[in-house]
Amino acid sequence: MTVNSDPPATKFADSDSLSSALSSQLATNLKAAIAARGLASLVVSGGKSPIKLFELLRAESLEWSRVCVALADERWVEPSDPESNEKLVRDVLLKESSAAARFIGLKNAAPTPDLGAVSAWETFARVPRPFDAVVLGMGDDGHTASLFPRSPNLASALNPAAAAGCVGMRSPVAPHPRLSLNLSALLDSRRIVVLITGAKKWNTYCAASADGPAEQMPIRCVLRQRHTPVEVMWAP
C-alpha cells in the first residue's frame, strides 16, 4: 500500500485488499461509537464497488443490534427491484449476524422522489447523527450519491447553507429517478470514505481534484470542503 499526495488518495494493490482494510477500519469506527454513545451509524451507497466490502463487513464481530445502516441514495424503485440499493444492502451486507442491524431505507409510497423526500428524511430521525461513517462511490461523470451533473435540483442539493435533508434527483442518462441525501446531510458525519476502483475512476478523480466548477463534477463539493474528514481509497 502506498500513499499518493497529488491528488491525495490511498492506493491498494487490488480491490480485495482495499475492501479488507476498509472493513477493518469501519468495524473499529463502529465499535468505538458503540462504546462511546451506545449506538453507531453507517451510511452506504450502492453499485458494484462496495460488494466485496459488504461481504467482509458483515463478518466483522460487532454488536450489530446497536448499528444503524442507512442509504446515501436510492433509485425510485421497489425494494425488491434488482436496481434497488436497498435490495443490494439487504442481500449482501445484512446477512447472518449483521441482519440484527437496524436498516433505514429511502424508498416510500410517494409517487415520485420529490414528493417522497420529506418523508424519507423524517425516517433519518432514527439514525444517530453525526453519522459515524459514510461510504460514497463516484461515477465516471463525477457524481456521488445521486448528486448528478445537470440534474434540475443539483444547485439546491449542493447548497452548503441548506438544511440537511433528502432531494429528488435526475440522472441525464440513467433510467430511474433518484432520491439522495443532500450535501449538508452527507457532511454531517465523523468520517467520509470515497471508494473507487479502476483506471477510469482514477482519471475521473484526478479531473475532479483539478480546478473547475463544482456543479460540473459534484464530487468536488465533498473533496473541497473542510467540515468533515474525507479519505479517497482506490484500487485498480
Q: How confident is the model at residue 132 (pLDDT cuts 50, 70, 90)?
A: very high
Model confidence at 175: pLDDT above 80: no
Among residues of the chain, what percentage have pLDDT more than 90? 94
Model confidence at 185: pLDDT above 80: yes
Sheet holding 8-11, edge to edge: 2-5, 8-11, 230-235, 192-197, 133-136, 40-44, 67-71, 102-104
What pLDDT score was predicted for residue 139?
A: 95
Model confidence at 234: pLDDT above 60: yes
Model confidence at 3: pLDDT above 70: no
Task: Count the residues in the chain.
Answer: 236
Q: pLDDT digit string (tens) for 42-69?
A: 999 999 999 999 999 999 999 999 999 9
Partners of 71 in beta bridges:
44
What pLDDT score was predicted for residue 113?
A: 97
Q: How confident is the model at residue 198 (pLDDT cuts 50, 70, 90)?
A: very high
Tell me which residue has cell 465499535. 31
What pLDDT score was predicted for residue 6?
A: 52
Using a cut of 0.85, tell me whether the model's pTM lies above it. yes
Q: How confident is the model at residue 171 (pLDDT cuts 50, 70, 90)?
A: confident
User: What dihedral do alpha carbons 101, 106, 109, 115 form, nearest 10°?
Assistant: 160
Q: What are the chain's domains?
A: 10-235 (3.40.50.1360)
